[in-house]
Structures are given as structure tokens and as C-alpha cells.
Chains A and B, each alone.
Chain A
Amino acid sequence: AQSVSQHNHHVILSEAASLELGCNYSYGGTVNLFWYVQYPGQHLQLLLKYFSGDPLVKGIKGFEAEFIKSKFSFNLRKPSVQWSDTAEYFCAVGNSWGKLQFGAGTQVVVTP
């Protein structure tokens, strides 16, 4: 069975601070890894994805994530956050049958 663990449930930080959200997964097969974001009142949007190749993945809005196979991790980073980054962030693991397993989510609040 696949599972996803996000380290922090709530993160509060000031504008211009750096953000790192942890994500660890367990799954025996080939995985696809994702970070989704859900802004208040909006639908889930894909931030970035990893299928294979370069383990450092760049996504939209200045986000990036690093896949470390030996640590079963896929941490999300942004060097300098903005107030508009306030949202819920979900790490997700997908298998080849189309099943997407989400982590519990991290609520990020950026203060002006």
C-alpha cells in the first residue's frame, strides 16, 4: 500500500521568508510524485510533478521540489514567499493504475 506523510500541518511565516515543506512516501513500485496547492475557495492546482529524470523539479510560481530516492522524500521549497502563497499544500503519490494518494496537507499562512 502507498502512503504519504507531510511533516507539518500548519506553517506561519512572514513575507520574503523561505519555505520548505516536507513530504515522505512509502510505496513499493514506481511512483509519480506531485505537489498540489489549494488556495482559499479555489480548486486543487498542480504546482509541480516528478516522473523521472532530474530529481530537482521546478514548478509554477517559483516553487521547486527535490526527489531524494534514498530518503523516500519529495520536499517542496520556495526561496521567498509572498502573501499570495497562503494556501493548503498537498503532497501526493500516484501509481500506474491512476490511484492518487494525498498527504494530510499543510496549511501555510504568510503574514504581510
Chain B
Amino acid sequence: DTEVTQTPKHLVMGMTNKKSLKCEQHMGHRAMYWYKQKAKKPPELMFVYSYEKLSINESVPSRFSPECPNSSLLNLHLHALQPEDSALYLCASSHGDGQKDQPQHFGDGTRLSIL
């Protein structure tokens, strides 16, 4: 079992809906990440939070809005998504201390389907 918990495991939503993906870790990690993984493809980095501050945004469309309420939680708010946004969304965490930042621990992901 992974130590990074993601909810929900599956989500089906329409293009006009607003929903949120949640991620939680209790390993004391201070860096958290969102990745998008399409079928048969590697994970692609979306956002990095370091000490609850957004440090990397990989030019992600504004219909994806990350939030880090505290060091254990990471949310991804979704609004007006497109069918091509259907994918597995992975959360990860790591220690968050420069070169000691790696490795990243991954959650099981949320499989998102946009109708």
C-alpha cells in the first residue's frame, strides 16, 4: 500500500462541472506534486509545491487549479475540463530539501473521465 492517499479513485464529470481531487500524506514531506498520465504514456509533471508554496507550474491550463492548504494536503480543483483531460492524475510527495528532495512517493491516482 502506498503512503500517499488519493481520493476519489475514479471520477466521471461533465465539462461544466466543478470537482476537486484530493491528496494526503503523513510522512512529514514538504514537497508535493501533481502529475497527469495518459494511457501508455509516462507521467507528466503539472505542479510542484514546496513548503506549501507553488514552485513549479508546467504551463498547465487555468482550468486546473492547485491548492496546498497545509503540508499534508494537496488539492487539484477542476473546472470546465475538456475530453482530452481524461487521464490518471497522480499525486506524489518527497522530503523537499534540495538534493535530498528525491525520491518521490506516488499515490494510486485518480482516474478521471470527462464526458
Contact = CB atoms under 8 A, between A and B. Distances in A.
A96 B50 CA distance: 12
Interface of A: 30, 32, 34, 36, 42-46, 49, 51, 90, 94, 96-105
B45 A94 contact: no
A97 B102 contact: no
Contacts of A104: 41-42
Given A43-B107, A44-B106, A100-B33, 6 more contacts: A30-B99, A32-B103, A45-B106, A49-B102, A51-B99, A99-B45
Contacts of A30: 99
Contact of A100 (B45, B50, B107): B45
Given A42-B108, A97-B56, A98-B94, A90 B102 contact: no
Interface residues of B, number: 29
Contacts of B98: 96
A7 to B, nearest CB: 15
Given A46-B103, A97-B56, A102 B43 contact: yes
Contact of B55 (A34, A36, A90, A98): A98
A34 B43 CA distance: 14
B21 interface: no
Contact of A43 (B31, B55, B103, B106): B106
Contacts of A96: 98-99, 101
Nearest to B101: A98
B7 to A, nearest CB: 14
A24 B31 CA distance: 27
A96 B45 CA distance: 15
23 contacts: A30-B99, A32-B99, A32-B102, A34-B102, A42-B108, A43-B106, A44-B106, A46-B105, A49-B103, A90-B42, A90-B43, A94-B102, A96-B101, A97-B48, A97-B56, A98-B94, A98-B101, A98-B102, A102-B42, A102-B43, A103-B42, A104-B41, A105-B41
